[in-house]
């Protein structure tokens, strides 16, 4: 999706500004856009990275009020895998196609040096799929199911001390590809005082290691104030629950301990509601930033293929020409390879024939049998 | 419960005493003498704590012994821990209670499981334990044995993370590497993030996995029949279901049934405790160094917006059970198992290695003095040599058979049929469990031992018993 050109019109010289004498009606354009997008539906893709059992499914169920039940996975997988689940949610007349991708077996292996690689590969694969669709001759971007990851929730283990090294390594490899929001999973094991210290420690570690996490946008006046406050609450200490407990005469999502009840929707107990609010109000901004990451990916990818925006004589090259040139080159290469294979085949046939002749001669002689399997 | 009282109740009652007055010798005071001497000598105990960072190990140790052992500790950042190796740090403190002195050593293992690549991260720990055994072995074999320092590790508390679904690969590998060297007591750390049903599920899962992987954790032994009634009750409670919420009538009735009629008291509750004996293991613990105010009382606990977790409340966690087990009732048993089983295994292995090396080198003088084994007479020596040869031929045959077995036509045939040997008899000490002894020589051994276990040859051969 190319960036809209709306901003340029005001700067174009030789363009007069007219005043209107009556109501024309193009102020309904945003409404038309809204109507179209509602009809089309929205899509949102979330990636949850965290150790096995840290509460990814429980949190997703609590955030979106649907049951994303998954069989509890084992700790003994030999490598990290990713599992995706899609569901359609509807609220008033807005349709949301939600895809949740979860890591399975993250942080379980003995040697975790390569744990982040499958995740990076997955994100790149989604970008690649979109790029392929864009480069197609007959393409249907409108009805294409966008699988690019819009936000990544990174679950930090609630040790109460500091980040783990695997967290640093993974976030460092992902911060230029996806919006990262760090959350502290199973936060009902940290008391309030410890939580303040823990959050400060995490943020200072992230900053000192140069990791870019997603900052809620502060340029839009309507949300800037709230967002600045929320930015100070990162990382979110979340608690999720698949089960509901009867409190009063309502069933609420909560965890019942012998010493009290942790209510998921209570803001003084945990930050789950804050996270939900932030995700929903800033969904569009997250998608825009994802497009920016995608553009970065696309540029790197095409540059690798040898495409340039400016040709050798400083003239813009059209992509078509480049692709044509590449296709010709591949075609010639393929012909050459075919020739080579044909030659080799003929050679081997001759060799084999010679061998068989020799064997035949030998077989006619009386010799002890030695089978070589 | 003072130990002095325990022994007094075993004295003959006054009636009997009158009858047997002539026969009263007076050695019934021996336990009291032992008690006095041990108080004078003092006790020592070495406890190792292992587990990932951030699971509350130091807090728990401080809560257990009600002291602050970790005053000036530097915690590393994530960046610094990328290539961290496991260190072994010892903290030794002398504590005293009611005249009983205890020299407590806590062996800490910072860095365990923290690096990115954790293959063989338990090696420094197993090396440390072996070092302590070797040190004790040397001291024991030395000439001057007056003041032997016992630095052997008596118990290892292993902390399992509550945030997962059970054991992780690093947990399994660690426990398998150490279960034959030290008493392992697995614990579920930071149990205040689990609701009671989750605790039950996790405990079951961990118990299953421990069985599945064949890990031998420390089993606290049954009481002897002539123990004090109070001690037995404690033992029963220890083994009963640990966590049940107050609103669980089914469990309450089950317990009540055991305590109803006094005559059936022992029988029923024994039956219950046997069934649920292992239900509370592994203990789900919470530690805290801070004192909070709860229901008008000052208790050790953790303060949350939704309630206060009391560390010493049995309905909240198993801390009290752990403390009772570790300190109040089974501390000495842990030491005994370490001395009698783990150390003896190490010692026997050591000796066997040395002697086999010597036979290879034709009886060259070894730097470590060989322990004063009574030299077997020529007859038994001949027997030993003969059996040695048999073992070597059979092991050669076994390797040949394994090779043959890989060929398809032999698959499915038992080795005995191929070798035409009699089927191996289960060895006299091949009984399950740790604490059963050999029927012939009473020697304690661990689990199933192969028919040609050298230790048995050495010791049972002395008695002239054919154990093969």
pLDDT (tens digit, 9 = 90+) per residue, B5-31? 444 444 445 554 454 445 677 777 778
Q: Which of A70, A115, A208, A259 to mutate to test the interface with B (most CBs of B within 10 A)?
A: A259
DSSP string of B233-252?
Answer: HHHHHHHS-----TT-HHHH
Q: Which residue has the higher pLDDT, B38 or B274?
A: B38
Q: What is the torsional sign of CA A293, A299, A300, A302?
A: positive
pLDDT at B245 over 60: no
Determine contact: B186 vs chain A, CB below 8 A: no
Contact residues, chain B, for A263 at CB < 8 Å: 306
Reported as half-sphere exposure (CB side, CA atoms, 13 A), residue B353 has a value of 7
**3-class secondary-structure state, position A257:** strand
Cβ–Cβ contact B435 with A under 8 A: no
- pLDDT > 70: what percent of chain B? 60
Chain A residue with CA closest to B120: the answer is A110
Residue range B145-176, pLDDT digits in tens: 777 788 899 999 999 999 988 899 999 999 99
Q: Which residue of A has its CA nearest to B55?
A: A159
CA distance B55 to B65: 18
With 0.80 as the threshold, say if the pTM is over it.
Answer: no
Q: Which residues of B touch A161 (CB under 8 A)?
A: 53-54, 75
Q: What are phi and psi of A156, to 5 degrees?
A: -95, 140
Task: Looking at the complex, report in whole angstroms how far the Cα of residue A77 sits from the nearest Cα belonging to chain B.
Answer: 9
Q: What is the pLDDT of residue A337?
A: 92
Q: Which band of pLDDT confidence, cut at 50, 70 and 90, is reported for residue B241?
A: very low
> Nearest 5°: phi and psi at B302?
-120, 135
Record: contact A165-B316, CB cut-off 8 A: no
Q: Does B116 contact A at CB distance below 8 Å?
A: yes
B116·A112 Cβ contact <8 A: yes
pLDDT of B430 > 50? The answer is no
Residues of A in contact with B82 (CB under 8 A): 165, 168-169
Partner A contacted by B247 (CB < 8 A): no
The confidence score (pLDDT) of residue A102 equals 92
As a whole number, the mean pLDDT across chain B is 70
Rounded to a whole number, what is the distance in Å from the CA of A66 to chain B's nearest CA? 21
Nearest 5°: phi and psi at B258? -75, -20
Instruction: Determine contact: A108 vs chain B, CB below 8 A.
Output: yes
SS3 (DSSP) at A358: helix
Give the number of other Cβ atoms within 10 Å of residue A156's Cβ. Answer: 23
- Nearest CA among A136, A171, A193, A179 for reference residue A291: A179
- B/e letters for B187-204, b = 16+ CB within 10 Å, e = fewer, are bbbbbbbbbbeebbebbe
Average pLDDT over residues B366-372: 49
Reference B200, options B97, B59, B318, B286; nearest CA is B318
Over its C-alpha atoms, chain A yields an Rg (Å, rounded) of 29
CA distance B215 to B171: 11
Any chain A CB within 8 A of the CB of B248? no
Rounded to whole angstroms, how far apart are CA atoms B121 and B128? Answer: 13
Of B78, B308, B309, the CB nearest to A168: B78
Sole residue written with tokens 């992902």: A174
Both tokens assigned to B267: 């029988």
Q: What is the pLDDT of residues A46-90, one digit of tens each?
A: 999 999 889 899 999 988 888 877 777 788 888 888 999 898 888
Asked if residues A97 and A43 have their Cβ atoms less than 8 Å apart, the reply is yes
Contacts of A195 in chain B (CB under 8 A): none
Residue B179 has pLDDT above 70, yes or no: yes
Chain A environment of B173 (Cβ under 8 Å): 110
Q: Which residues pair with A236 in a beta bridge?
A: A183
Band of residue B127 on the pLDDT scale cut at 50, 70, 90? very high
Nearest CA in chain B to A55: B163
Q: Taking a contact as any Cβ pair under 8 Å apart, which residues of chain B between 44 and 73 contact chain A? A: 52-55
In this structure, of A193-197, B81-85, B297-301, the range with the lowest mean pLDDT score is B81-85
By DSSP bridging, strand B155-160 and strand B184-188 are parallel
Within an 8 Å CB–CB cutoff, is residue A269 touching chain B? Answer: yes
pLDDT value at residue B186: 92
Which tens digit of pLDDT belongs to each residue from B315-334? 888 888 888 888 888 888 88
Q: Which of A33, A39, A31 is CA-nearest to residue A94?
A: A39
pLDDT the model gives residue B389: 79
Among A74-83, A107-116, B93-102, B204-213, where is mean pLDDT lowest?
Answer: B93-102
Minimum CA–CA partner of A189 in chain B: B193
- Contact between B172 and B215 (Cβ < 8 Å): yes
**What tens-digit pLDDT sequence spans chain A (373 residues)?**
444 444 444 445 567 777 777 777 777 888 888 888 888 888 899 999 999 889 899 999 988 888 877 777 788 888 888 999 898 888 888 888 899 999 998 988 888 888 899 999 999 999 999 988 888 777 777 778 889 999 999 999 998 888 888 899 999 999 899 999 999 999 988 888 889 889 999 999 999 989 988 988 887 777 778 888 888 888 999 998 888 888 888 888 889 898 889 988 888 888 898 898 888 888 888 888 999 999 999 888 888 877 666 555 555 556 667 677 888 888 899 999 999 999 999 999 999 999 999 998 888 876 555 555 4
Q: What is the pLDDT of residues A321-334, one digit of tens each?
A: 767 788 888 889 99
- What 3 state SS string does B311-367 have? CCCCCCCCHHHHHHHHHHHCHHHHHHHHHHHHHHHHHHHHHHHHHHHHHHCCCCCCC
pLDDT of B266 higher than 60: no
Contact B78 A205 (CB under 8 A): yes
B259: pLDDT strictly greater than 90: no
B164 vs A51: CB contact, 8 Å cut-off? yes
Reduced to 3 states (helix: H, G, I; strand: E, B; else coil), residue A343 is helix
Give the best residue of A164, A165, A186, A208 to mutate against chain B (max B CB count within 10 A): A165
What is the Cα–Cα distance from B241 to B248, expressed in whole angstroms?
12
Q: Is B298 helix (H, G, I), strand (E, B) or coil?
A: strand
Edge-to-edge order in the sheet of strand B283-284: B89-97, B100-108, B43-50, B155-160, B184-188, B283-284
Compute the average pLDDT of residues B282-304. Answer: 86
Question: So what's the pLDDT on residue A316?
Answer: 56
User: Which residues of A, range 231-260, sit inside 8 Å of B by Cβ?
Assistant: 255-260
- Whether residue A113 and residue B116 make contact (CB cut-off 8 A), yes or no, is yes
Q: Is A172 part of the contact surface with chain B (CB cutoff 8 Å)?
A: no
Q: Do the chains contact at B78 and A164, CB–CB below 8 Å?
A: yes
Mind telling me how many Å the CA of A3 is from chain B's nearest CA?
39
CA distance A42 to chain B (A): 34
Of B192, B151, B168, B166, residue with least CA distance to B313 = B192
> pLDDT digit string (tens) for B32-64?
888 888 888 888 889 999 998 888 888 898 888
Contact flag A205-B305 (C-beta cutoff 8 Å):
no
- Among candidates A284, A245, A250, which has minimal Cα distance to A263? A245
| Interchain CB distance below 8 Å, B53 and A159 | yes
- Asked whether A244 and A252 are in contact (CB, 8 A), the reply is yes
Note whether A167 contacts B: Cβ–Cβ < 8 A: yes
- The pLDDT tens digits for B371-425 are 444 555 667 777 878 888 777 777 777 777 666 555 544 455 555 554 544 444 4
From the list A163, A189, A209, the residue facing B190 with the nearest CB is: A189
């Amino acid at each position: 999706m190319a960036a809209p050109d709306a901003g340029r019109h005001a700067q174009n010289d030789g363009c007069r500004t007219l005043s209107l004498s009556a109501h024309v009606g193009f102020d309904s354009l945003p409404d038309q856009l809204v109507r179209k997008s509602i009809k089309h539906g929205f899509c949102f893709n979330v990636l949850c990275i965290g150790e096995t059992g840290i509460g990814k499914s429980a949190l997703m169920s609590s955030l979106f009020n649907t049951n994303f039940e998954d069989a509890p996975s084992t700790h003994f997988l030999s490598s990290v895998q990713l599992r995706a689940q899609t569901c359609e949610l509807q609220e008033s007349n807005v349709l949301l196609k939600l895809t949740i991708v979860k890591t399975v077996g993250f942080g379980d292996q003995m040697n975790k040096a390569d744990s982040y690689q499958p995740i990076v590969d997955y994100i790149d694969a989604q970008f690649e799929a979109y790029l392929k669709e864009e480069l197609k001759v007959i393409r249907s971007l409108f009805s294409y199911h966008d699988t690019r990851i819009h936000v990544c929730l990174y679950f930090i283990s609630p040790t109460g001390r500091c980040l783990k090294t695997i967290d640093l390594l993974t976030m460092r490899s992902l911060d230029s590809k996806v919006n990262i929001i760090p959350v502290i999973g199973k936060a009902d094991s940290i008391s309030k005082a410890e939580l303040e210290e823990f959050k400060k420690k995490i943020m200072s570690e992230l900053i000192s290691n140069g990791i870019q996490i997603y900052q809620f946008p502060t340029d839009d006046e309507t949300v800037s104030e709230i967002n600045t406050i929320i930015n100070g609450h990162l990382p979110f200490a979340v608690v999720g629950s698949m089960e509901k407990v009867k409190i009063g005469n309502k069933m609420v999502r909560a965890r019942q301990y012998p010493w009290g009840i942790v209510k998921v929707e209570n803001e003084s107990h945990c930050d789950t509601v804050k996270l939900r609010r932030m995700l929903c109000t800033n969904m569009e901004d997250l998608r825009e930033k994802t497009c920016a990451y995608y553009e970065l990916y696309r540029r790197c990818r095409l540059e690798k293929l040898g495409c340039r925006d400016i040709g050798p004589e400083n003239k813009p090259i059209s992509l078509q020409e480049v692709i044509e040139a590449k296709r010709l080159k591949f075609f010639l290469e393929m012909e050459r390879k075919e020739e080579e294979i044909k030659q080799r085949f003929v050679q081997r046939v001759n060799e084999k024939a010679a061998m068989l002749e020799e064997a035949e001669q030998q077989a006619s002689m009386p010799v002890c049998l030695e089978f070589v399997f | 419960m003072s130990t002095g009282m325990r022994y007094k109740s075993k004295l003959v009652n006054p009636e009997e005493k009158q009858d047997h007055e002539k026969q009263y010798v007076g050695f019934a005071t021996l336990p009291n003498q032992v008690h006095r001497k041990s108080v004078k000598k003092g006790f020592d105990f070495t406890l190792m704590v292992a587990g990932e960072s951030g699971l509350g190990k130091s807090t728990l140790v401080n809560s257990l012994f009600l002291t602050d052992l970790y005053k000036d500790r530097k915690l590393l950042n994530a960046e610094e821990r990328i290539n961290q190796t496991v260190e072994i740090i010892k903290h030794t403190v002398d504590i005293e209670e009611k005249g009983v002195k205890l020299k407590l050593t806590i062996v800490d293992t910072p860095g365990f499981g923290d690096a990115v690549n954790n293959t063989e991260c338990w090696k420094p720990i197993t090396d440390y334990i072996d070092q302590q055994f070797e040190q004790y072995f040397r001291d024991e074999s030395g000439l001057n044995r007056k003041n032997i320092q016992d630095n052997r590790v008596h118990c290892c508390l292993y902390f399992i993370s509550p945030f997962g679904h059970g054991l992780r690969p690093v947990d399994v590998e660690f426990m398998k590497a150490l279960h034959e060297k030290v008493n392992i007591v697995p614990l579920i750390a930071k149990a205040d993030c689990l609701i009671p049903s989750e605790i039950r599920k996790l405990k079951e899962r961990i118990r299953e996995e421990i069985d599945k992987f064949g890990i031998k954790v420390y089993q606290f032994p049954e009481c002897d029949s002539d123990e004090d009634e109070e001690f037995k009750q404690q033992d029963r409670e220890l083994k009963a279901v640990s966590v049940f919420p107050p609103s669980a009538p089914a469990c309450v009735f089950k317990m009540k049934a055991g305590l109803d009629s006094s005559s059936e008291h022992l029988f029923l509750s024994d039956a219950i405790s046997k069934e649920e004996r292992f239900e509370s293991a592994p203990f789900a613990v919470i530690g805290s160094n801070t004192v909070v105010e709860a229901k008008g009382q000052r208790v050790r606990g953790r303060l949350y917006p939704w309630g206060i977790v009391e560390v010493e409340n049995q309905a909240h966690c198993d801390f009290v059970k752990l403390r009772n087990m570790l300190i109040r009732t089974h501390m000495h048993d842990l030491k005994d198992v370490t001395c009698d089983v783990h150390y003896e295994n190490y010692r026997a292995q050591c000796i066997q290695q040395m002697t086999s090396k010597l036979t290879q080198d034709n009886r060259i003088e070894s730097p470590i003095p060989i322990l004063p084994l009574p030299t077997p007479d020529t007859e038994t020596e001949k027997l030993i040599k003969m059996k040695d040869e048999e073992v070597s031929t059979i092991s050669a045959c076994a390797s040949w058979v394994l090779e043959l077995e890989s060929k398809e036509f032999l698959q499915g045939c038992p080795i005995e049929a191929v070798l035409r040997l009699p089927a191996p008899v289960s060895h006299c000490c091949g009984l399950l469990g740790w604490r059963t002894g050999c029927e012939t020589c009473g020697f304690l051994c661990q689990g199933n031992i192969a028919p040609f276990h050298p230790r048995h040859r050495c010791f049972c051969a002395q008695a002239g018993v054919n154990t093969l």
